[in-house]
Structures are given as structure tokens and as C-alpha cells.
Structure 1
Amino acid sequence: MAAYDAICFDLDSTLCEPTRDPATLLEATFERADCEPFCTPTDLRAAIPALPTAETDREFFDQLFVEVARRAGADPALAPTLADHYLDLQDPTAVRFRPGAEAALEHARDRAQVGLITNGGRPTQTKKLEALGIADAFDVRVFTDPGKGIHPKPDAAPFERALAGLEATPETAIHVGDSLHADIAGANAMGIDSAWIDTGHEGLDGVDHEPTYELASLEAFETIV
């Protein structure tokens, strides 16, 4: 168990998850677009590391559906329509805490400064935080904002912004997240300790980004901090 001056958390799939089944959401998206499904939620997650930086949620999902369509041999011209329907069907407020997340956040707040570093824009992510009742639970909140030079993790900018706001150094901080590509690789590159939450969507085999800690869920958070 280690002591830290700053503890940072990712949001999506780390602290919270949607209450609506992702497969159902995607199925409804294809139905509205009146086209045959050519991808799964797993395909969407797998394509994210290949995407360029997006300025808005709309641009992100447009790029995402273009990429998965290309990989599936489908027509990329369907992407704008799919992105529109996907966003229309999404409800940012329909979220719940992941197992152990609420207790982990309280545990962290009792021991250190706490930050949020999320690969999402302020309007959408703030709705999730408000729905969970934790909008004021962080000493620093860092959202993706390419226009201000804050590119998505694993870029260094969001980590640097969080550390500056928390008045912490990489050596005294830890970042907790579910994405090996975004959270663990980004933290490792900064020299920040990292805790990876294994949600079953990724595996460590053949991956260069080794976390400092590996947790089955945030229910085990108190064993490392």
C-alpha cells in the first residue's frame, strides 16, 4: 500500500458505466439508419486508438464509424448518419457507479487531493458527474479540449494540467483507469504510477503498457492506496 499526494481517476468504464446495454444502443442505431449492422461495441472500442483527435463528440463518433466501417468493408459514407443516430439515442445522464467506485472515490478523498482526467468534452461529461452526484467531488477536473491544447489521453497535456492544478509531481501521483492505451500508457509516459481496472475488454498479453497495479475492480482500491 502506497501513499500519494494526488489521486486521479478516469470516468467512463472506471468510475461509471451506462445503464443501457451498449449492444442494444448500437442495434437501435443501425435500425434507425436502416442498414445492416457491421460492428459490435467491441469493434468500436478497438478502433478508438486509431482515431485522430476530434474537436467535438459529433466529430469523434463520425470518425469512429468511418474507421469501423473501413475495417468491416462497409461503406464509410454511412458514418455521419450513424453518428447522428448514436448521439441522439445516447443519454449521458443514464449512468451508474461501477462496482466499488463510489467507495474508492471517498477513500481517495480522505487521503489526498483528487483529480478527474477524462477523454470527453466538458458538457457531456459534466452531465454524467451530476447524475452520479459527484460534480464537486474533485479538486481538479480535466476534460478534453483540443482547442485549448488539451488532447485526449495518452497525450501528456491532460496529465500535466491535472498535476499543475493539484500542485503535485508525477512521483507523488497515481492515475486510475480502464484503458491500457489511454490511461496506463499516458500515465506511464509521465512517470505517474498507474492502476488498471480490468473490465474484461482488454488484456495485458502482448501489450507494452504495464500498469503499476492491476485490479479486478475498484472494490480492491483500498489495498493499494
Structure 2
Amino acid sequence: MSSYDAVCFDLDKTICEPTQDPATLLERTFEGVDCDRFCTPSDLRAAVPSLPTVQTAREFYEHLFSEVAGRADADPTLAPSLAERYLEVQDPSAVRFRPGAAAALEHARERGQVALITNGGRPTQIQKLRALDIEDAFDVRVYTDPSAGIHPKPNAAPFERALGELEATPDAAIHVGDSLRADIAGANAMGIDSAWIDVGRDRAAEDEHVPTYELSSLERLESIL
């Protein structure tokens, strides 16, 4: 019997990861805007921890390309066009399970209620769930929806919505995610136990946001449920 009444999962970089080649995606983005490429996929990943919390994917990529442009002494006014083009060539349905994710999700489902709490809007995220055939794997799905007052993690709203619909209390729940700044900080503020999946991109915030558990992959989640 699990010690938790509810297990909440993040989606991107926790349950799934994209299968599109990052270099090709970036190349097509710059070709579509007709400007010289001033960054690499590694540059984009390195800039993510510096970005503010935003409401939409469009805002996220605008901030991302603006940040990278500044670091490369390139024109930051290209950011909106690059963000728009990136989203045009990106295929949300081109995803696969991260190592151990399918088994971890099934294990959690066998032991209690399961929720999805994702910093993405429903139209985009539902494509990923359908591609993985896990649309119906969650008792509750919470997407970012500022118009309904559901702001992105670490905001408390998505956690409150999930626990409220599950009729679970914070001390009987655990949240699993890859972002210290969003997943772990949000769970910590709510008094929810947290499991951080270290994907090698968020170490700068490690001292600031301490998870209850630190896992190298979801293959180890079974040991704490």
C-alpha cells in the first residue's frame, strides 16, 4: 500500500521528451525568419534557468530567444519572429516516454490516484498525451490556463486544483517533476513531498529548492511509493 493518497506528475522532461532533432528544428526556425543562426540547442538549454515564469509557450520562446540573442550579441528584436516560427515547425505529438516513465505511471496508478500538473496549455499537451496513449491515465489533468486562474508552477493554483479534485491533502501527496524552480519550489510551498528527476539542466537552483527525493530517472520512483 502506498504511503501517498495521490501522486502528481509533471509532463515535459518528466514523463516524455521530444523526438524531433533539436539542431534540425533550430535550423528550420532560423531559415524561416531568414537570418543567420546565432545559437545552438545547447545555448537554448543553458538559457532556460534564467527565464522568468510566463503564461504561454509563445512567451516562453520569446524570452528564450531574446535571452540567447543577448548572450550572442545578436538582435533581440528577432525574438518574436523566431518564437513564432519555432512553434510552427515544432510538432507537439513527436514525443516518447522518458526512461522508466511508462512503468512508473502504471505503478502509481495501481497504488492510488494520479494527477497530471503541467506548465502547458491543453491544446498542446493533449497532443503529447494522445501520442503516448496516456490521455486517460490520469484521474485529474491540470493545464496552464491563466483565464481560469490556473497560472504556471510554482504558482499554488495548479497544485490546489489537482488536490481539490482528488480530495487529497498536501501531506498525503507527492509531486514528481524535473524542474527545481517550478515543480519542486511549487510542491515545497504547498507542503507536498517532491521527487526531482535530475535531467542535468537545473543544478543552479539546487541549493535554493531542495526536493524530498532526488532520482536519476523515473525507474527509481517505485522505491519511494
Q: Given the two structures, how large is their TM-score scaled by the length of structure 1?
A: 0.92
Q: Which residue of 2 aligns with 1:87?
A: 87
Aligned-residue offset at 1:34:
2.4
Runs of 4 or more off by more than 6 Å in structure 1? none
Q: Which residue of 2 aligns with 1:133?
A: 133
Structure-2 separation of matches of 1:205 and 1:154: 13
Q: Which residue of 1 aligns with 2:78?
A: 78
The correspondence of residues 93-104 of structure 1 with structure 2, limited to 5 A, is 93-104=93-104
Aligned-residue offset at 1:205:
7.2
Secondary structure at the aligned position of 2:203 is classed as coil
Q: Which residue of 1 aligns with 2:51?
A: 50
Q: Which residue of 2 aligns with 1:10?
A: 10
Aligned-residue offset at 1:112:
1.2
Q: Which residue of 1 aligns with 2:38?
A: 38
Q: Which residue of 2 aligns with 1:182?
A: 182
Is 2:180–2:206's contact at 8 Å kept on the other side of the alignment? Answer: no
Q: Are 2:121 and 1:121 equivalent residues in the alignment? A: yes
Q: What letter corresponds to residue 50 of structure 1 in structure 2?
A: L
Secondary structure at the aligned position of 1:116 is classed as strand
Aligned-residue offset at 1:82:
0.6
Is 1:42–1:201's contact at 8 Å kept on the other side of the alignment? Answer: no
Secondary structure at the aligned position of 1:110 is classed as helix
Aligned-residue offset at 1:29:
1.2
Q: Which residue of 1 aligns with 2:192?
A: 192
Structure-2 separation of matches of 1:215 and 1:97: 16
Is 1:14–1:197's contact at 8 Å kept on the other side of the alignment? Answer: yes
Structure-2 separation of matches of 1:200 and 1:67: 20
Is 1:23–1:40's contact at 8 Å kept on the other side of the alignment? Answer: yes
Aligned-residue offset at 1:158:
0.7
Aligned-residue offset at 1:59:
3.4
Structure-2 separation of matches of 1:179 and 1:78: 27
Bigger drift between 69-78 and 175-184 goes to 69-78
Structure-2 separation of matches of 1:206 and 1:118: 21
Aligned-residue offset at 1:80:
1.8
Aligned-residue offset at 1:79:
1.1
Deviations 1:107-133 (A, max 9, x none): 000111100000000000001001100
- CA gap of 1:27–1:10, structure 2 versus 1, over 3 A, is same
Structure-2 separation of matches of 1:66 and 1:161: 33
RMSD value over aligned CA atoms?
Answer: 1.9
Structure-2 separation of matches of 1:43 and 1:115: 32
Aligned-residue offset at 1:52:
4.8
Percent identical among aligned pairs is 70
Aligned-residue offset at 1:68:
2.7
Q: What letter corresponds to residue 84 of structure 2 in structure 1?
A: D
Bigger drift between 69-78 and 137-146 goes to 69-78
Corresponding residue pairs, total: 224
Q: Where does structure 2 lack aligned partners over 5 or more consecutive residues? A: none
Structure-2 separation of matches of 1:206 and 1:192: 18
